Amino acid sequence: MKARKNNSTNKKATTGAKNQIRKKSNPEGIANTTINNKSSGKKSNPEKNAESAPLNKGVNKNSTKGNKVRKTSPTSGKPFAKNLPATAKKPATTKTLRPQPLPEDLRYYVCYKPYGMLCQFTNEKDSTHPVLADLHGFETDVYAVGHLDRDSEGLLLLTNDREWSSRIAHPIKGLTRTFMLQVEGDITPDAVEQLQKGVLITNNGKIMRTASAVAQKLNTSPALPERNPPVRYRKAIPTSWVKLTTNEITNRQMRQMTAVLGFPTLRLVQTGFGPLQIADMTPRLVRALNEKEVQKCAADVK
């Protein structure tokens, strides 16, 4: 009997010592559910434990198990837009760009340069050819964008905005220009294809291949004003029209290209410069570009 009492006393002492060790290792009194359940022999109830544990931030109480609803964006940290699912993007907003007023000191003109006029403002000595200054009283700092030689005609831009001019007239990134070429003879599909790929010509004593272009033979003559003086035709030889679009080939090179292919150019008219078209303009007409036209040209640069 005494031995049994001693054993029970020893067990109580051991249990008390273990409890003291637990209290020391967990001085804040935080409940250890797993240890207590094992020692008491009771099964753990995960539902009760989940109810007693604090909810994680960003988890909806009413959501099903494992489904988390983000209240904020993981990248920006900003709350999502209302009435949109967490994975949806905010609807893009479109802005309407309005033409901005042009600086008062900048000038932009478009004119129809007639045949026989020099693309310069002052004439050389003993020269009777008309010049651009004969069209309008341009400001002294205004100059032509690009160049049309004396025998070429059509749309020509003038400005004193050097930055705008260099952008739209860049030989690679600038605006494309459209030309109408009246050639002698009925140009063949093979010749049109060669105009597109490039033609070997002589430039300053060196052989070079012209840049590629978009070439198209026209079935009918374009609606253009009559040239003064009129083009000289040969009755026995027909003529045809070719539309050429490029931003690298000069009008002088175009004349060489068609001549090499056997179809000399009789008339060359620049009808388009980017978004600007000759439309119903007549020779010698000059007008100022508006804000929308100026900004459209700059926006269309590559």
> Looking at the structure, do residues 11 and 134 belong to the same domain, yes or no?
no
Q: What pLDDT is recorded for position 204?
A: 87
> Looking at the structure, do residues 236 and 125 belong to the same domain, yes or no?
yes
Number of domains in the chain: 2
> Looking at the structure, do residues 176 and 285 belong to the same domain, yes or no?
yes
Residues 282-285: contacts with CB under 8 Å, at least 24 apart:
282/112, 282/225, 283/112, 283/113, 283/114, 283/115, 283/153, 283/225, 283/228, 284/111, 284/112, 284/114, 284/135, 285/111, 285/112
List of residues 6+ apart from 193 with CB closer than 8 A: 215
C-alpha to C-alpha distance for 216 and 202, rounded to whole angstroms: 24
Q: What percent of the chain has pLDDT over 70?
A: 67
**95 falls within a domain:** no
> Looking at the structure, do residues 33 and 132 belong to the same domain, yes or no?
no
> Looking at the structure, do residues 288 and 206 belong to the same domain, yes or no?
yes
**82 falls within a domain:** no
C-alpha to C-alpha distance for 22 and 39, rounded to whole angstroms: 12
Q: 270-301: per-residue pLDDT in tens?
A: 999 999 999 999 999 999 999 999 999 999 99
Range of the domain at 27: 2-47
The answer to whether 225 touches 154, Cβ cutoff 8 Å, is: no
Catalytic positions: 149
> Looking at the structure, do residues 161 and 264 belong to the same domain, yes or no?
yes
Q: What pLDDT is recorded for position 144?
A: 97
Report the mean per-residue pLDDT for the chain.
Answer: 79
DSSP designation for 133: G
**84 falls within a domain:** no
**83 falls within a domain:** no
Kindly compute the dihedral angle of the four CA atoms of residues 22, 25, 26, 32, in this order, to the nearest 10 degrees. Answer: -60
> Looking at the structure, do residues 35 and 116 belong to the same domain, yes or no?
no
Give pTM, 2 decimals.
0.66
**78 falls within a domain:** no
Q: 82-138: per-residue pLDDT in tens?
A: 444 444 444 555 444 556 677 778 999 999 999 999 999 998 877 889 999 999 999
> Looking at the structure, do residues 136 and 267 belong to the same domain, yes or no?
yes
C-alpha to C-alpha distance for 120 and 264, rounded to whole angstroms: 26
**126 falls within a domain:** yes
**70 falls within a domain:** no
Q: What pLDDT is recorded for position 103?
A: 77
Q: 249-266: per-residue pLDDT in tens?
A: 999 999 999 999 999 999
Of 32, 47, 62, the residue that ends a domain is 47
**209 falls within a domain:** yes
* CATH of residue 216: 3.30.2350.10
